[in-house]
């Protein structure tokens, strides 16, 4: 395949050409309530070509028929020529890479019978249904894939990557008269069959929570001191800050660049944030990004100060910085754009625990788990799966519909205590940006305390 792509590159008379070809083997099983929805095996494949010519913009072609490769290379070149630019696009220098990067499969999912995968999911789904007759519905899914990605560009980079992934998720719907609540468990790993074997307790727990939430009051809307658990703190840093650190937001925008000037203070000295695509075995982990740049651990906030951002080769060149290996595409159907990988809040002092965070809070909210988050850059939301009121330094009653309204400049700066109990999330789902969803990412964080944050709800 590499030779075939190299030959096509040679044929291209554009100044810069890159070709990415993917072949993805996947299987999927889904249950809805007691009923199996599907059990399927699929193979998807296709290619992506991107070219640049002097004084011109990007020409892009994606396709499912690989026989069309030479025609698509020519088409991309024509498209590039149609895009006239006064200020040329340049790409930051990158040393050519040649490698076969095979991630550990940890039990190759391609060798496991579909019936075994059905059995596994049936077990987890049944664990949720068995919790109570108030669990009226479930949605469970298992999906695995092994993706082969070939990447070749006209600067001499030639890569083959084997990327496994396995995602499990379960939603339990509890109902009591007119009240309906849900619990959600999701596990996403860049691994294989061996790593998804023993999750009954987690699935049972979310069904139990859905039932418990039926009797829980809605949280009252107000500004509170808030403690985020590891999972929600991870989603928080992804939404609150991660997206702002993606350089495609600032590179063409002088005002945005000013707002995000390196050296600016964003938090208290306890706050350290980074993005690490090279961490082992996590869902956002990749040896190379989709421009062939090796991934790395990129510090973003050091002791409260903005020190870095995430780059593609184009954004790095424009800002005179170095590429960070964050140009990613969800599939051959898309161009790579600047994305996060595994984003984290670094742990605070060893020995600082949950009790140190909660002790002096008279009235507050302990927000736990994550249904999701979304950002509009300055303002963002993150939705907890559930919460507890904090009363007189103690975890008190369960509350529901806990949605936090964040503001980049206020919320980050109000993080005053960070525990030492760091954990990676390993969630399923994914990140959406520019029409590309779901991109596998991971977040990690310890428990963090925000002095004051706005929670929506009845007032």
| 136 near other proteins, judged by CB under 8 A | yes
Minimum Å distance from CB 356 to other proteins? 26
Q: How far apart are alpha carbons 377 and 426 in whole angstroms?
A: 24
User: Which is nearer to other proteins, 163 or 209 (by Cβ)?
Assistant: 209
In 229-280, beta strands by DSSP E: 273-276
Q: How far apart are alpha carbons 361 and 355 in whole angstroms?
A: 10
Pair of tokens at residue 432: 């959406």
Which parts of 184-223 interact with other proteins (CB under 8 A)? 218, 221-223
Taking alpha carbons only, the member of 43, 79, 45 closest to residue 61 is 79
User: Which is nearer to other proteins, 252 or 360 (by Cβ)?
Assistant: 252
Query: Judging by beta carbons within 10 Å of its beta carbon (0-12, 13-18, 19+), is residue 412 exposed, middle or buried?
Result: buried
Binding mask 6-45 for other proteins (x = CB under 8 A): ----------------------xx--xx-xxxxxxxxxxx
Q: Per DSSP, what are the bridge partners of residue 160?
A: 100, 150
User: Which is nearer to other proteins, 79 or 279 (by Cβ)?
Assistant: 79
| 133 near other proteins, judged by CB under 8 A | no
User: Which is nearer to other proteins, 15 or 137 (by Cβ)?
Assistant: 137
Cβ(60)–Cβ(79) below 8 Å:
yes
| 381 near other proteins, judged by CB under 8 A | yes
Minimum Å distance from CB 44 to other proteins? 5
Minimum Å distance from CB 373 to other proteins? 7
| Other CB atoms within 10 Å distance of the CB of residue 255 | 8
Minimum Å distance from CB 453 to other proteins? 8
Minimum Å distance from CB 292 to other proteins? 19
Q: How far apart are alpha carbons 429 and 199 in whole angstroms?
A: 17
Minimum Å distance from CB 171 to other proteins? 10
Minimum Å distance from CB 148 to other proteins? 15
User: Which is nearer to other proteins, 289 or 314 (by Cβ)?
Assistant: 314
Residues in the chain: 459
User: Which is nearer to other proteins, 337 or 345 (by Cβ)?
Assistant: 337
List % helix, strand, coil for the chain (3-state, nearest 5): 25, 40, 35
| Other CB atoms within 10 Å distance of the CB of residue 178 | 5
Pair of tokens at residue 180: 């309906």
Minimum Å distance from CB 316 to other proteins? 16
| 427 near other proteins, judged by CB under 8 A | no
Minimum Å distance from CB 83 to other proteins? 5
In the block, tokens 């977040």 appear at 443
Which parts of 49-108 interact with other proteins (CB under 8 A)? 57-68, 72, 75-76, 79-80, 82-85, 87, 89
Q: Per DSSP, what are the bridge partners of residue 379?
A: 376, 407
| 387 near other proteins, judged by CB under 8 A | no
| 353 near other proteins, judged by CB under 8 A | no
Which parts of 428-457 interact with other proteins (CB under 8 A)? 452, 454-457
Q: How far apart are alpha carbons 274 and 310 in whole angstroms?
A: 10
Which parts of 313-342 interact with other proteins (CB under 8 A)? 333, 335
The DSSP annotation for 309-344 comes to: -B--HHHHHHHT----S-EE-SSTTS--EE--SEEE
Which parts of 397-426 interact with other proteins (CB under 8 A)? 400-401, 403-410
| 296 near other proteins, judged by CB under 8 A | no
Pair of tokens at residue 367: 């927000």
């Amino acid at each position: 395949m590499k030779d075939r792509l190299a030959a096509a590159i040679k044929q291209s008379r554009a100044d810069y050409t890159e070709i990415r070809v993917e072949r993805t083997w996947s299987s999927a099983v889904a249950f809805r309530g007691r009923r199996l929805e599907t059990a399927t095996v699929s193979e998807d494949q296709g290619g992506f070509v991107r070219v640049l010519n002097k004084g011109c913009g990007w020409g892009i072609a994606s396709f499912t028929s690989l026989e069309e490769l030479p025609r698509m290379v020519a088409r991309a070149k024509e498209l590039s020529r149609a895009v006239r630019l006064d200020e040329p696009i340049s790409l930051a220098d990158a040393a050519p890479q040649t490698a076969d990067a095979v991630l550990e499969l940890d039990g190759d999912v391609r060798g496991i019978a579909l019936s075994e995968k059905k059995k596994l999911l049936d077990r987890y789904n049944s664990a949720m249904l068995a919790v109570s007759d108030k669990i009226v519905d479930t949605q469970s899914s298992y999906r695995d894939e092994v993706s082969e990605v070939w990447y070749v560009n006209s600067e001499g980079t030639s890569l083959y990557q084997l990327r496994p992934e396995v995602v499990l998720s379960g939603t339990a719907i509890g109902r009591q008269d007119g009240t309906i609540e849900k619990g959600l468990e999701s596990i996403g790993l860049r691994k294989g069959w061996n790593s998804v074997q023993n999750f009954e307790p987690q699935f049972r727990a979310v069904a139990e929570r859905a039932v418990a939430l039926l009797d829980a009051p809605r949280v009252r809307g107000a500004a509170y001191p808030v403690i985020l658990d590891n999972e929600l703190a991870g989603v928080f840093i992804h939404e609150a800050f991660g997206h702002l650190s993606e350089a495609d937001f600032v590179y063409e925008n002088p005002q945005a660049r000013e707002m995000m000037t390196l050296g600016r203070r964003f938090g208290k000295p306890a706050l350290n944030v980074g993005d690490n695509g090279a961490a082992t075995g996590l869902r956002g982990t990749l040896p190379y990004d989709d421009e062939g740049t090796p991934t790395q651990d990129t510090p973003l906030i050091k002791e409260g100060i903005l020190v870095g951002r995430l780059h593609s080769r184009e954004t790095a060149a424009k800002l005179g910085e170095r590429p960070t290996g964050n140009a990613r595409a969800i599939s051959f159907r898309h161009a790579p754009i600047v994305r996060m990988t595994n984003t984290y809040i670094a742990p605070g002092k060893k020995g600082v625990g949950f009790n140190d965070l909660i002790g002096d809070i008279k009235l507050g909210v302990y927000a736990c788990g994550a249904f999701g988050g979304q950002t509009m850059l300055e303002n963002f939301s993150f939705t907890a799966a559930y919460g507890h009121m904090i009363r007189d330094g103690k975890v008190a009653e369960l509350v529901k519909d806990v949605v936090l309204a964040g503001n980049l400049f206020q919320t980050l700066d109000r993080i005053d205590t960070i525990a030492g109990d760091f954990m990676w999330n390993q969630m399923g789902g994914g990140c959406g940006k520019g029409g590309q969803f779901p991109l596998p990412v991971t977040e990690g964080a310890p428990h963090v305390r925000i002095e004051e944050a706005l929670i929506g709800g009845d007032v």
